[in-house]
Amino acid sequence: MDAALDLFVEKGFAATKIDDVAARAGVSKGTLYLYFPSKEELLKAVIRHNLSLTIEQGDDVVANFEGSTAELMQVVAGVWWERVGETQASGIFKLILTEARNFPDLAQFYDAEVIEPGQRLITRLLQRGVDRGEFRPTLHLLDTAHSFIFPLLMLCLHKHSIGPCLVHGLTNDPRRFIAHHIELLLKGVTAEPVPAPGTS
Amino acid sequence: MDAALDLFVEKGFAATKIDDVAARAGVSKGTLYLYFPSKEELLKAVIRHNLSLTIEQGDDVVANFEGSTAELMQVVAGVWWERVGETQASGIFKLILTEARNFPDLAQFYDAEVIEPGQRLITRLLQRGVDRGEFRPTLHLLDTAHSFIFPLLMLCLHKHSIGPCLVHGLTNDPRRFIAHHIELLLKGVTAEPVPAPGTS
Amino acid sequence: MDAALDLFVEKGFAATKIDDVAARAGVSKGTLYLYFPSKEELLKAVIRHNLSLTIEQGDDVVANFEGSTAELMQVVAGVWWERVGETQASGIFKLILTEARNFPDLAQFYDAEVIEPGQRLITRLLQRGVDRGEFRPTLHLLDTAHSFIFPLLMLCLHKHSIGPCLVHGLTNDPRRFIAHHIELLLKGVTAEPVPAPGTS
Amino acid sequence: MDAALDLFVEKGFAATKIDDVAARAGVSKGTLYLYFPSKEELLKAVIRHNLSLTIEQGDDVVANFEGSTAELMQVVAGVWWERVGETQASGIFKLILTEARNFPDLAQFYDAEVIEPGQRLITRLLQRGVDRGEFRPTLHLLDTAHSFIFPLLMLCLHKHSIGPCLVHGLTNDPRRFIAHHIELLLKGVTAEPVPAPGTS
DNA sequence: GATGAATGAGAATTCATTCAT
DNA sequence: GATGAATGAATTCTCATTCAT
């Protein structure tokens, strides 16, 4: 399944040959069919497997955190990047994106198992900030959640598509970008409102 | 080429059959080969065609703008969404993302023709804001540019992948999300710095 | 379809390779798939084609016959052998027999299109004989029909199975056998009752 | 071997999977290869086994029979149907018929072990009838034998091919058909020559 | 210029056979 | 003896590409 994930992510489902998956996995084509009844089922298994891994991350980090919500968001993003973004599993996002329309049930599954829980996690985080008076109460929670998440996902997508093709990646330091992105969202871009002592 | 774009975006390059492109275009398969020597060349033509369209947007909007940079960013994003995000051309991002690793020269081309100019445009915008004292001078320009752009791209990607498969899309109003996203980056999330009368 | 019939009859459906059919037909494999969507559909087309040919024989011969029913039966059998038994179409019986259980709808089709009409034809013939006082009225019409028909079918089956494998076929002269078989059924085996009152 | 016989008869040799044979026999695939070196050898073993069973029937019944030859033929047919036609062994005829051309040595074997002895048996029976003045001396012995045997074989073939696919079989009572068939051959179809001196 | 029938290389899938346990 | 996981050759089916009309 690791071999399949790699190749599906790199080449796309249709362009990946079963022989290549088998070869990379170090088994014969026949063996693959011993465990997965078809190429399509292999895809589904790969996705199910990787999503279940992905999902388990998250909630425990949040539960007992003590510090400010700003710190918490940095921590959550950092942990996610470490456990997902930097691993092979980061490819799953490209795979889903690529194959969603060809296998709509995958999209359903991904929505239920990743998008929904993910949105809920971030939304709760934001709510925590609002409740504690750290964040503006006028925030649109869902939109804000997307502003947080989307760039992180783009990092994963980029890593598995254009990234490897370019000599100088678009960001030479993803961790720095993530920290900066979150800080940016928290503080905003605009210059300090003049004489006010300081905010962050 | 419109037919090809649609299908390439929907199914991916490998999973798209020349017959289907021909059928959707209302011509025969032979006719397609009259104009494009191979499926791969068709792909490249489709991408070149749509990128050249994409790129022309932009710089003219910026050049003579008079208002605040915050306003300018809202305008740029709005125009871009209107001319790219809402049109068929929005699919090109998914296509590039999907096929970049299979056709590395496409990635090069896209980098040179879209990424670089795009980054330059936004970077200049941000610099304008800094120069005019509107934005913090401590901003990392490139990272900030990415924070602005990535969610817009995700909107396009989503629209052509998981979006059509879900009953309730992740955002029912992309324009509102875009406005909110840019406002968010500008103002930041954090609560008003105490008694200060207003910030925005 | 002739090529397919030959090979299906000779080797059986499962043991026949599409490549071989194509080669014998003098076209490429691809061309075959241009006209028949799958091997199974090719089988069905072959059978439908040959059955429609088979069925058209028959009734016209019977309609306006003037002579004795005994003569008529000889004529019917002779014509059938000439038009079916001696042609390539004779193989269809082996094919049906072989594949009926794998493709039950074929069996249905064959029953409706061949068995039923065939039985009706022969039954009517026998009835004609009874009506004209030529045949015993105590005959079981359907059983008798089968006694007539079965050996002719066996001739076809044999011709396409064991026949070609034996140096001396089981019958060196099918026409003579058919004539003899029908005469036998008509007259019976038992010695002339000469002066004796009755035998049965 | 029973499992193999069943499946070979039902599906044909090529369409039968070794896995299925093993599964039905309740052993593993490997075990099958412990006893039969290849699928083909399994086929041959199945056929040899069942033919040897088939052949042993017969001669002893005939040897010491005392009654009329007409009665004897009914007895022979009845016993054969009971011991072969009604058992699983009846499938062997379909199997031979189906596979003869793919395995010509099977055909040879079958000819030597079944056809020849069978023909000889019936021929001797008919000769007995002629010798005893029961049957016409003008009979063509071999043709007549075939007229006797073929319909019985067709019954077996039908039972394992089209029969199971039809709701109303072609004959709801095989024993009655057999009795009728033999009676028919003995007496003939034609009406009693009443008092008339002769008919032939 | 346009067509669509024909091609055949290539990919997914099957299944008889092997062999380490 | 028995097993069943592993194999890969063989087979069905697909589809980009060609070319005569």
Residue with more model confidence, A174 or A196: A174
Residue A156 has pLDDT above 90, yes or no: yes
Termini Cα distance of chain D:
51
What confidence score (pLDDT) does residue A65 get? 80
Residue with more model confidence, A198 or C21: C21
Mutate which: B71, B144, B147, vs A, most A CBs within 10 A: B147
On chain F, which bases lie within 7 A of the protein's CB atoms? Answer: 1-9, 11-20
| pLDDT digit string, tens, across residues A71-110 | 889 988 998 898 889 998 899 999 999 999 999 988 888 8
Helix extents (H) in chain C: 2-11, 18-25, 29-35, 39-56, 59-63, 69-80, 91-99, 104-110, 116-131, 141-159, 174-187
A169 close to B (CB below 8 A): no
Chain B residues inside the 8 Å CB shell of A144: 180, 184, 189
What confidence score (pLDDT) does residue A55 get? 64
Helix extents (H) in chain B: 2-11, 18-25, 29-35, 39-56, 59-63, 69-80, 91-99, 104-110, 116-131, 141-159, 174-187
What confidence score (pLDDT) does residue C160 get? 93
Residue C126, both tokens: 């026998």
A165 close to B (CB below 8 A): yes
CATH annotation of B39-189: 1.10.357.10
Hey, are the CB atoms on C186 and D191 less than 8 Å from each other? no
What's the half-sphere exposure (Cβ side, CA atoms, 13 Å) at A98? 31
Hey, are the CB atoms on D161 and C12 less than 8 Å from each other? no
Of all residues in chain D, what percent carry a pLDDT higher than 90? Answer: 32
Hey, are the CB atoms on A190 and B187 less than 8 Å from each other? yes
Residue B86 has pLDDT above 70, yes or no: yes
Contact by Cβ (8 Å): B107, A167: no
What confidence score (pLDDT) does residue B187 get? 83
> What string of DSSP letters covers A77-100?
HHHHIIIIITSGGGHHHHHHHHHT
Q: How far is C134 from chain D (nearest CA, A)?
A: 6
B123 close to A (CB below 8 A): no
Residue type, B112: A
Average pLDDT over residues A4-9: 93
| pLDDT digit string, tens, across residues A27-43 | 999 999 999 999 999 99
B112 close to A (CB below 8 A): no
Distance from C-alpha of D89 to C-alpha of D92, rounded to nearest angstrom: 6
Detail the DSSP E strand segments found in chain D.
none
Mean predicted lDDT score pLDDT of chain A: 85
Distance from C-alpha of D189 to C-alpha of B113, rounded to nearest angstrom: 95
Position of tokens 């039969």? D36
Mutate which: A166, A189, A199, vs B, most B CBs within 10 A: A189
CA distances from D179 to A15, B129, C126, C140, D70 (A): 67, 108, 19, 11, 11
A13 close to B (CB below 8 A): yes
Distance of CA C15 to the CA centre of its chain: 24
Give the number of A-B residue pairs with CB atoms closer than 8 Å: 214
Average pLDDT over residues D71-88: 89
Chain A residues inside the 8 Å CB shell of B137: 191
Position of tokens 């497997």? A49
Contact by Cβ (8 Å): D92, D54: yes
What's chain D's length in residues?
Answer: 200
* C15, closest nucleotide (Cα–C1'): F11
3-class state of residue B41 by DSSP = helix
Position of tokens 């022969």? C122
Is the CB of residue D113 inside 7 Å of nucleic acid strand E?
Answer: no
Hey, are the CB atoms on D162 and C100 less than 8 Å from each other? yes
Residue A59 has pLDDT above 70, yes or no: no
CA nearest to B199 within chain A: A193
Average pLDDT over residues D102-113: 87
| pLDDT digit string, tens, across residues C3-55 | 999 999 999 999 999 999 999 988 999 999 999 999 999 999 999 888 876 66
> What string of DSSP letters covers B63-80?
HT--S-HHHHHHHHHHHH
Distance from C-alpha of B27 to C-alpha of B32, rounded to nearest angstrom: 7
With 0-12 / 13-18 / 19 or more C-beta atoms within 10 angstroms meaning exposed / middle / buried, residue B74 is: middle
Average pLDDT over residues D11-36: 90
Q: Which residue ranges of chain C lie beneath pLDDT 50? A: 193-200
Rounded to 5 degrees, what are φ and ψ at A135? Answer: -110, 155
Residue A172 has pLDDT above 90, yes or no: no
Find residue A190's DSSP bridge partners.
B135
| pLDDT digit string, tens, across residues A112-142 | 888 888 888 889 888 888 888 888 888 888 9
Q: How far is C115 from chain D (nearest CA, A)?
A: 9
